[in-house]
Every structure is written in C-alpha cells, then in structure tokens.
Amino acid sequence: MSVARFIANQRTFYRVPYAVCCVILGVSQSWFYKWLNRPATPGQRRRADLDAEVLKMFNTSKRTYGSPRVHADLLAAGWTVGVNTVADSMRRLGLQGRKPMHSMGLTRQDRKAPKFPDLLKRDFTAPGPNLTWCGDITEIPTDEGKLYMATVLDLFSRRLLAAPTSEHPNAQLAADAIKIAAAGRGGRTKIESVIFNTDRGSTYTASSFTLLCKDKLGIRQSMGRVGSCFDNAAAESFFSTLEHEVLSRRAKRTQATSARGGSSSPDPSRTTSTGSSYPPSQAQPGWCHRPACRQEIGSDRQLAPRGRHPRSPPRPEVRTRNLVELQEMGSGVPEE
C-alpha cells in the first residue's frame, strides 16, 4: 500500500483529516491532492467496466450465479478474463451466488431386474440431436405434499424434451416422460436407436418401461453404476439448477406452480414466457440447459396437459403436468 493510499484510507475508515495525516507523515498536501485527483489508469477503467458487467450478469441470473457461471457468460459475451479475476470482482461488489443444498436420492435398485450396460462412459456430448438422451426423476417438495418430476434431456443441446410430474415416482411417470420426448421429436422414425442414459432405479428397469423403449420406440437403454451420481451427471446438473435457481426462490409452492417451475401464469398450456397466448397446436417453450445459454427455446410439439387437483377423485390414468415455463429468461432461439 502506498503512502497516499494509506492517507486516503485513514480519512475513509477513521475520519482523520488529510492535512493531519500529511503533517504526521511529513508529506506535502499538494502532492497528496495531485495523487487524489489523478485521472484513472487503463487498468482501473477496465476494472470498473468489468465490475459493471459482472453486476449485470449477476442480476440477469436472478442473483444465483457464482463466479464460474458468470465467467462463462462473460466469455460468451466476448470478454477475455480469468475466473479468478471474476471472483475478485464479485468479492469487491459483495456478490455471492446461491449455495447448493444436498438431499437424499430416490434411486431404488431392483436386483432381479435385467442389467443394461453403460454406453456413455461419462461422455455427455453428442455430435447431433436425437443421438443421446439422459433422464432422471427428482422430488419437488410443495405445501400440498411431495411432487415427482421425470425429465428427458437431449445431450446435444441440453434441451429439455419432457418434464411430466406425478404424485408417485413409478414406472408410469418415466414412461410418460419418454413418450412425450419421442412425440416431440417426431416419433420412432426420427429417434430410432437413440441412447437413453439413466440410473439403475427400479422405475427404469421395470418391464413395462423396458418393453416400451425396446419394442415400441426403438430406444437403447444405458445405465451407470449403482450409487454413482457421476454416471448420470448431466441429469443431476439440471436438477441442481432447477432446485437452487428456480424452485428454492419461492417461499410458498403449490403442486401446480412447482409443476411449471414457479410461474404465475394461470394456464401454462396456453401462455408463453412473454404472456401472449397461442393455440394448443403450436409449440410450447422448453429450456436450454447450458451455463452461458439460459434461454427458453421452442419445443417441437405440445407436451401433455396439466392434471387435476390432488384431492380430485382418482382415475385410471396417471395425472401428469409439464414444466412449461421455468423462468422468463430472454426470447426463444431455435435449436441447430
């Protein structure tokens, strides 16, 4: 720390006049005021511009991103900056992202079910769409009880293809998710031999689900090791983002609002992220799950309709809802 900076800090933190410090330290007041009124250096101007951009990116993320994700957004915006520099900027501004919260998993293995090989080997990339999918089931606590959501993601773009919800995490819920994803991508002729990677839970090894994938849809199942979340890390990453950036920000959650990601729209099956209505035959928004691309994108086909209230009389089919709108984050962009 320079002498001039020390004098300035004494005034800032302890209200000691500049003149008193200059006399005690034996320096000229004119020299100190020349230093105080000096123009900003190029480094200081860049630091100020970076702080402004970091604050903008942080507010755009609903004040949830940490330095790695803010750094990724800055790189996407054309900045040349290191992640540690971004962390220092957030520390100067007093910004802090949401910390993850860990909970117990839902995976229950059926030891008598047939085994499927791990076809991905933790390679969560794909050269094109409809080649590799992944999915999982998560629990969403609400004020009306527990809600379970099954997802299907395309690993080419991390696009959310389906997200039905139900009161029970069974094989029917997983089957609904894969049916919605297949219908949205054009049916069996378009998704023939696609790899669907999941965990070894009993919902994905059930005979009804395996027959649906193999015989009716032509999907090849892939499963990681027992007790290893890293073998299905892409699906786990999506659930982490959903919980800590969307659902956990709502103080009170009903099953209806949680099923559409906390949206306040009265009817998500007919309302877009901008509030405009469209007929049911048109596309509904999905979600691009990339650190530098949190944007809603149009899906290929309408997902399943919302279900009834949990207290309504039961009916044979499973009640499903869809995650139509997670957050209002920019305009839609088509998938390449």
Assigned domain for 336 exists: no
Amino acid sitting at position 123? D
d(CA 164, CA 181): 10
Per-residue model confidence (pLDDT) at position 85: 94
In a domain, 106, yes or no: no
> How many other β-carbons are positioned within 10 Å of the β-carbon of residue 296?
24
Report pLDDT digits (tens) over 179-190.
999 999 988 888
103 within a domain of the structure (yes/no): no
Residues 60 and 166 occupy one common structural domain: no
Mean model confidence pLDDT for the chain: 75
Q: 153 and 281 share a domain? A: yes
Could you tell me what percentage of the chain is helix, strand and coil, using 3-state DSSP and rounding each to the nearest 5? 40, 15, 50
The domain total for the chain is 3
Does one domain contain both 82 and 147?
no
Q: Domain range holding 26?
A: 1-38
In this structure, are 302 and 193 located in the same domain?
yes
Q: Are residues 275 and 166 in the same domain?
A: yes
Q: Are 196 and 222 in contact (CB under 8 A)?
A: yes
140 & 93 share domain: no
| The two three-digit tokens of residue 164, written as one number | 């039905």
Least Cα distance to 160 among 25, 308, 296 occurs for 296
7 CB burial (10 A radius; 0-12, 13-18, 19+): buried
pLDDT of 107: 58
Say whether both 282 and 233 belong to one domain: yes
Residue 175 and residue 309 in one domain: yes
Q: What is the pLDDT of residues 288-298, one digit of tens each?
A: 444 444 433 33
Asked if residue 123 is part of any domain, the answer here is no
Other residues' Cβ atoms within 10 Å of the Cβ of residue 254: 16
**Are 32 and 51 part of one and the same domain?**
no
Q: Residue 127 is inside which H or E element, if any? A: none
Q: Please report how many Cα atoms fall inside a 13 Å half-sphere around the Cα of residue 331, on the Cβ side.
A: 1
Could you write out the DSSP letters of every residue in 89-104?
HHHHHT--PPPP----
Question: What span, in angstroms and rounded, lies between the C-alpha atoms of 320 and 308?
Answer: 8
Domain match, 236 and 288 both: yes
pLDDT tens by residue, 164-183: 998 888 889 999 999 999 99
CATH number for the domain harbouring residue 170: 3.30.420.10
Greater pLDDT, 128 or 101:
128
Question: Do residues 295 and 212 share a domain?
Answer: yes
Q: Is residue 115 part of a domain?
A: no
**Which are the contacts of 3, defined by CB distance < 8 A and separation ≥ 6?**
25, 27
The answer to whether position 120 is within a domain reads no
pLDDT in tens, 207-252: 889 899 988 899 999 988 777 778 888 888 888 888 777 777 665 5
Residues 213 and 306 placed together within one structural domain of the fold: yes
Round to whole Å and give the CA distance between 219 and 131: 10
